[in-house]
């Protein structure tokens, strides 16, 4: 079990998918978890499934006020904040030619501004808690294989995830004196709502047959012979967030079934 016992974690976009699975893994390891999302009903349901170790707060990651309220909620509810997981994100399959400036700005607002605002809003509490914790505090940012290599039809998403990757490294250096570690994780295709939507967007209007063909092609793209499940990523996030990763900062944990090894 990763060492997160007694810590408090705030996870953006954790009503479902990778964020929800991460909340479950961290809570099982003894952490208190704040589920934060724009999806209020689902977020409350996820928190209820976890039980008294979890609480839900509404969060729109594009809003600084919303972030400040979420951090305050976490600190007041559970007495501090040791782990921030910047997980909320959106995906659109768009080439540069198909992307309007409004599309580009939406991708930037959620996937990049959201990580910056979360980091900036949580920093004062993380600094205070890190000063009292034997190992310090941790931020884990969700990038992607799309933050490591380009793709023919995902320019805005690649831009945002590449930005998350290098912003992580800059923060790692900036926050090292505060004893706050900052790392990124880079999933391959994972079977979540977003993962299924990626397949649907690639398949287009061709129905189940087209969907299955794209899914098979994407399975083949992963040398390990399958796409990922949320637990594959949640375990990686929990490791980076835990004291087991005490000497890791500014690193990128690639959990992609071998996609980027090719």
Ligand X SMILES: NC(=O)c1ccc[n+]([C@@H]2O[C@H](COP(=O)([O-])OP(=O)(O)OC[C@H]3O[C@@H](n4cnc5c(N)ncnc54)[C@H](O)[C@@H]3O)[C@@H](O)[C@H]2O)c1
Contact 141, 86 (CB under 8 A): yes
* Catalytic positions: 157
163 near ligand X, rule: CB under 6 A: no
Of 176 and 224, CB closest to ligand X: 224
Task: Please report how close the Cβ of residue 92 comes to ligand X at its closest, in angstroms.
Answer: 11
190 near ligand X, rule: CB under 6 A: yes
Contact 56, 46 (CB under 8 A): yes
Of 17 and 156, CB closest to ligand X: 17
Number of H helices, E strands in the chain: 9, 7
Q: What token pair was written down for 151?
A: 């793709």
Q: Which range, of 34-42, 120-128, 218-226, 247-255, touches ligand X by CB under 6 A?
A: 34-42
Reduce the DSSP state of residue 192 to 3 states and report it: coil
Count the residues of the shown chain that bind ligand X, applying the rule CB under 6 A. Answer: 29
Task: Please report how close the Cβ of residue 78 comes to ligand X at its closest, in angstroms.
Answer: 20
Task: Please report how close the Cβ of residue 87 comes to ligand X at its closest, in angstroms.
Answer: 5
117 near ligand X, rule: CB under 6 A: no
Which of 59, 85, 158, 182 contacts ligand X by CB under 6 A? 59
97 near ligand X, rule: CB under 6 A: no
Q: Which range, of 27-35, 76-84, 129-137, 188-196, touches ligand X by CB under 6 A?
A: 188-196
Return all residues near 192 (Cβ < 8 A) that are at least 6 apart: 16, 17, 18, 230
Of 97 and 193, CB closest to ligand X: 193
Binding mask 119-158 for ligand X (x = CB under 6 A): -----------------------x-x--------------
Distance from the first to the final alpha carbon of the chain = 31
Distance CA 58, CA 37 (A): 5
Distance CA 261, CA 149 (A): 11
Angle, helices 155-175/114-132, rounded to nearest 10 degrees: 20
Phi, psi angle pair for 32, to nearest 5°? -90, 140
Which of 30, 45, 62, 221 contacts ligand X by CB under 6 A? 62
255 near ligand X, rule: CB under 6 A: no
Annotate 196-247 with DSSP letters as a single string. Answer: HHHHHHHHTTSHHHHHHHHHHHHHHHSTTSS-B-HHHHHHHHHHHHSGGGTT
Which of 44, 87, 121, 183 contacts ligand X by CB under 6 A? 87
Burial class of residue 247 (count of CB atoms within 10 Å of its CB; 0-12, 13-18, 19+): exposed
Task: Please report how close the Cβ of residue 157 comes to ligand X at its closest, in angstroms.
Answer: 7
Q: By CB under 6 A, name the binding residues for ligand X.
A: 12-13, 15-19, 37-39, 59-62, 87-91, 110, 142, 144, 187, 189-190, 192-195
């Amino acid at each position: 079990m990763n060492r997160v016992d007694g810590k408090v974690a705030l996870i953006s976009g954790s009503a479902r998918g990778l964020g929800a699975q991460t909340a479950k893994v961290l809570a099982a390891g003894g952490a208190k978890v704040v589920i934060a999302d724009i999806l209020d009903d689902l977020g409350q349901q996820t928190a209820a499934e976890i039980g008294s170790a979890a609480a839900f707060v509404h969060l729109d990651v594009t809003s600084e006020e919303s972030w400040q309220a979420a951090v305050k909620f976490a600190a007041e509810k559970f007495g501090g904040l040791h782990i921030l997981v910047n997980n909320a994100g959106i995906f659109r399959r768009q080439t540069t030619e198909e992307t309007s400036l409004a599309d580009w700005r939406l991708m930037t607002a959620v996937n990049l501004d959201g990580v910056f605002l979360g980091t900036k809003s949580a920093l004062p509490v993380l600094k205070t808690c890190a000063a009292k914790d034997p190992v310090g505090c941790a931020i884990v940012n969700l990038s992607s294989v799309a933050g490591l290599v380009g793709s023919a039809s995902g320019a805005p998403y690649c831009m945002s995830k590449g930005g998350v990757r290098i912003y992580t490294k800059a923060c790692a250096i900036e926050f090292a004196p505060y004893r706050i570690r900052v790392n990124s994780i880079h999933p391959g295709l994972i079977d979540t709502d977003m993962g299924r939507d990626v397949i649907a967007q690639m398949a287009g209007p061709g129905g189940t047959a087209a969907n299955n063909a794209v899914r098979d092609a994407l399975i083949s793209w992963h040398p390990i012979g399958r796409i990922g499940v949320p637990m594959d990523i949640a375990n990686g996030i929990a490791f980076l967030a835990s004291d087991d990763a005490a000497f890791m900062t500014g690193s990128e944990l690639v959990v992609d079934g071998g996609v980027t090894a090719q």
